[in-house]
Copies of this chain bind each other. A is one copy, B any other.
Amino acid sequence: MRPQKIEEPEMLNGFAKLFREKGYEGTSLAELAEATGLKKASLYHRFPKGKEEMAKAVLLNVNNWVEEHVFNTLTNQLLTPEERLKNGLRSIKKLYDDGNTPCLLQAFSIQSGINVFNQLINDSMSYWVDAFTNIGLAFDLSQSVAKEKAIQVLIDIQGSLVVSRGLNNPNIFINTLNNIEVIYTKN
């Protein structure tokens, strides 16, 4: 296999940056091509179904990163619950660039036509709830309370990203992440 001009992981990261900032409709193939250094036609060689396939690949790529760095950390039986939570939150902080980067799921949930990403978004969010339910159980919460708290954590993360961006103050996101540790350790 001859070397490609740009490797897929690097490409998907470039796509993600565009999609997060501009949304699905707001990102053009011209911009996607420019981000890779390739021409539009070359993108179609790698993603025959076009922009939609690129967006789905980006979503799956982010999901894989989250699985490795967030889910696997939160459920790592070799660590104490406190360590799992601390390390998981550190990864989340990195994922959203300390509150400076919007969430891809939010960006893709706004779109024209019937939303072909709805199922993927639903799956991803359920995944986040499962991960935090798991850490709640590690803190000896009941299943129902653990799930309730997990949903609140997701609300806090998503909401603080929105508000941080709206008020132009990433510290709101940082403070929210710090408070999440308290939510689990205060009881």
Residues of A near any B CB (own CB < 8 A): 21-28, 102-103, 105-107, 109-112, 118, 121-122, 124-126, 129, 151, 154-160, 162-163, 165-168, 172, 176
Q: How many copies does the complex hold?
A: 2
Please, which residues of chain B bring their CB within 8 A of the CB of A126? 167
Complex Cα–Cα for A129 and B25 (A): 31
A27 → B minimal CB distance (Å):
7
In the complex the two chains form, is A110's CB within 8 Å of B159's CB?
no
| CB<8 Å pairs between A and B, sample of 12 | A22-B25, A23-B26, A23-B111, A23-B112, A26-B110, A106-B106, A110-B110, A124-B166, A125-B167, A155-B159, A157-B159, A158-B162
For A162, list chain B residues within 8 Å (CB): 103, 105-106, 109, 155, 158-159, 162
The answer to whether A160 touches B155 (Cβ under 8 A) is: yes
Closest-CB distance, A6 to chain B (whole angstroms): 23
